[in-house]
Amino acid sequence: MKALLITDQQEPLLISEIDKPKLGPNQVLVRLKAVALNRRDQWIRQGMYPNIQFGSVLGSDGAGIVERVGSEVSDSLIDHEVIINPNVNWGKNEMAQSSDYSVLGMPENGTFAEYIVVHENRLADKPEHLSWNEAAALPLGGLTAFRAIFHHGHLKPGDNVLISGVGGGVAQFAFLFSLAIGANVYVTSGADEKVAKCIASGAKGGFNYKEESWFKAAQKASGGFDVVIDSAGGNQINDFIKIMKPAGRIVFYGATNGTPQKLDMFRMFWNQITLQGSTMGNDHEFEEMVAFVKRHEVHPVIDSVRPFHDIISAFDDMKAGKQFGKLVVTF
Ligand SMILES: NC(=O)c1ccc[n+]([C@@H]2O[C@H](COP(=O)([O-])OP(=O)(O)OC[C@H]3O[C@@H](n4cnc5c(N)ncnc54)[C@H](OP(=O)(O)O)[C@@H]3O)[C@@H](O)[C@H]2O)c1
């Protein structure tokens, strides 16, 4: 079968012909219909991810059809249309992942292949209202946004929420989920056209984070935020701190711009502000997220779809950062 491997070559991505994976007793063989990129995949390509294991199949997101099942798995799963939970070994503690946790797609072989073998407990039914491309876009970004917004952000209908860097894959889900529950949603982006698209889809306002005093305009328009969802980090965290309502919660799941040089702790303690890190989500949250997407008929935003033989160009697009929503690849 065809698969995308991470190698130690100068261009580390290699589409290669490898053996179809073998089935264990509790496993299922899924023929992938569509897969989607995450920033993590590009970080691995750039060598900026811990413990890279060359020869692994990359890819955390995918949707497909169960083709075969292991000896301990019911035959009734055959032909089921499924999406795959990208958590590997979250563990028993729902509050945080175990020490042997990893994300599907390095070291465990991932979704960027014609077939994948996973434990049967990694499957969820593909939501019927989603196309294959939309279903493939959902797992990692949807899960990360769901935990950040609801578990850590405690976002409620009528709250003011700011989704920072809304063009990002996870941020798009944070935007859609916040709109779905009736929060007052504001966005930032480095691209005015992305802000305009979000306003057209229901955002109350939007701001370009490249403008130095964007946060003053955000404060004026919103009256302050109950929740901020961010993945950029850096010194901008201090701008968020200035525009939080008392007891507001800043939840971050990435730090693309690194650590802030200083942190306005005085304003944080006086205004009872929480700065909270978040990673992925537990298996229960994955189920809840899929149910939420079905209940609210959320449609993931797809930036583009391309055939598997062009997958490396999707990595290039992610590196350039021009996407709005998920980069999807089909078989
Ligand atoms: N902890 C976890 O579980 C977890 C899960 C998924 C992702 N992540 C991390 O989160 C980050 C984003 O991941 P992703 O998959 O959503 O990536 P992505 O699709 O590449 O999105 C990155 C987005 O970051 C935004 N951005 C860049 N500079 C910014 C700034 N100064 N302020 C605000 N936003 C800025 C951009 O938004 P605009 O295009 O709108 O300007 C860009 O689209 C990565 O660092 C990733 O490793 C962590």
- Please give the Cα distance from 178 to 174 (Å, whole number): 6
322 pLDDT more than 90: no
Could you tell me where in the chain the CATH 3.40.50.720 domains are found? Answer: 143-277
Query: What is the tens place of the pLDDT at every residue in 186-202?
Result: 999 999 999 999 999 99
Residue extent(s) of CATH 3.90.180.10 domains in the chain: 2-138+300-330
Instruction: Report the predicted TM-score, pTM, of the whole model to 2 decimal places.
Output: 0.98
Q: Ligand 1 mean position to 151 CA, how many Å?
A: 19
Nearest CA to 202 out of 161, 241, 238 is that of 161
Q: Which atom of ligand 1 is nearest to the CA of 141?
A: 6
208 Cβ below 6 A of ligand 1: no
Atom of ligand 1 nearest to the CA of 209: 32
The pLDDT > 90 percentage for the chain reads: 99
Q: Which CATH architecture has domain 2-138+300-330?
A: Alpha-Beta Complex (3.90)
Instruction: Provide CB contacts within 8 A for 262, sequence distance 6+.
Output: 235, 238
> Distance, CA 38 to ligand 1 centroid (Å)?
9
- Cβ–ligand 1 contact at 56 (below 6 Å): no
Residue range 304-319: mean pLDDT, rounded: 97
Q: For residues 241 and 164, is the Cβ–Cβ distance under 8 A?
A: no
| Single-letter amino acid code for the residue at 228 | V
Q: How many CB atoms lie within 10 A of CB 30?
A: 28
Tell me the pLDDT tens digit for each residue of 230-262. 999 999 999 999 999 999 999 999 999 999 999
Ligand 1 binding pocket includes 318 (Cβ within 6 Å): yes
Is the CB of residue 10 less than 8 Å from the CB of residue 110?
no
Q: How many C-beta atoms surround the C-beta of residue 74 within 10 A?
A: 8
Ligand 1, from 102, 146, 170, 211: best to mutate by most atoms within 8 Å of Cβ? 170
CB atoms within 10 A of CB 175: 27
CATH of 143-277, one of 3.10.290.20, 3.20.20.70, 3.30.200.20, 3.40.50.720: 3.40.50.720
Decide whether any atom of ligand 1 lies within 6 Å of the 281 Cβ.
no
- Mean pLDDT over 154-179 rounds to 97
Q: What is the pLDDT of residue 88?
A: 97
Range of lowest pLDDT (29-33, 48-52, 153-157, 313-317) = 48-52
Summary mean pLDDT of the chain = 97
Residue 163's SS3 state is: strand
Residue 189 Cβ inside 6 Å of ligand 1? The answer reads yes
